[in-house]
Copies of this chain bind each other. A is one copy, B any other.
């Protein structure tokens, strides 16, 4: 497995791999890799013969300086995770390597950023769009893997690819969870021990909401309140948002009449966690 730190060296490796007729895959990450990332790399290795992982904490997508500064880093452990999961190449550039020139170009997607994390993390998806478009051009992957834990990001990237005709296939992988349901996240490392159990209430709230839907409840406001109540039963949980949206347009739903996504952002103590669940209501016979 090669470890590459410069754009120039990366271009050489990609050209060589493509020249050798290899299928190239990309797993973009911000490091501090966990089982969720490993699952993405494993999925990539099962489909392609040149698996690239990028590890870059992209300052441009952090709306909070504190969040950026406290974002956990674990370079040598990350390299081990990549190796074990079957990566061929890890790209770990410095901030200066990636942003030697501050970008003049701005990318945005107002429609898909209108809800969920969009309003509460100004400039976040703009930063994501820019770095992902750049990574696609640098790696020219045939396929790229994203975790559905970042559901809004996954949908925005899908649309980026469609709107700009990037010759890359996007695969969304299911969220990997701890035994109690907490979604794997690099930020979990920053949770205080006394908040860890309360963090699992996010996923628990989705499961309870799912039951309510299958019992016939169809009002998104009532459903959202149920989830909120479950989450704040953890005294150190503070809700950033809980929203029920259309799985593709990410528009807030006025009524449940098909599959939907419930998504939440919650401060567990100081640590902001996100999670979501796609729910397909059981269709009841109406006679």
Contact = CB atoms under 8 A, between A and B. Distances in A.
Interface of A: 7, 11, 101, 103-112, 129-130, 133-134, 137-138, 140, 159-160, 162-167
B110 A129 contact: no
A137 B101 contact: no
Given A140-B167, A165-B134, A107 B105 contact: yes
Contacts of A162: 101
Nearest to A15: B167
Given A164-B137, A165-B7, A159 B107 contact: no
B163 A103 contact: yes
Given A105-B107, A109-B105, A137 B166 contact: yes
A106 B138 CA distance: 21
Given A104-B110, A105-B109, A137-B166, 5 more contacts: A103-B163, A104-B159, A105-B159, A105-B160, A140-B167
Copies of this chain assembled into the complex: 2
Contacts of A112: 104
Nearest to A14: B167
Nearest to A155: B104
15 contacts: A7-B165, A101-B162, A103-B163, A104-B110, A104-B159, A104-B163, A105-B107, A105-B129, A106-B108, A107-B107, A108-B108, A130-B164, A133-B164, A134-B164, A137-B165
A107 B133 CA distance: 12
B105 A106 contact: no
Contact of A109 (B106, B140, B167): B106
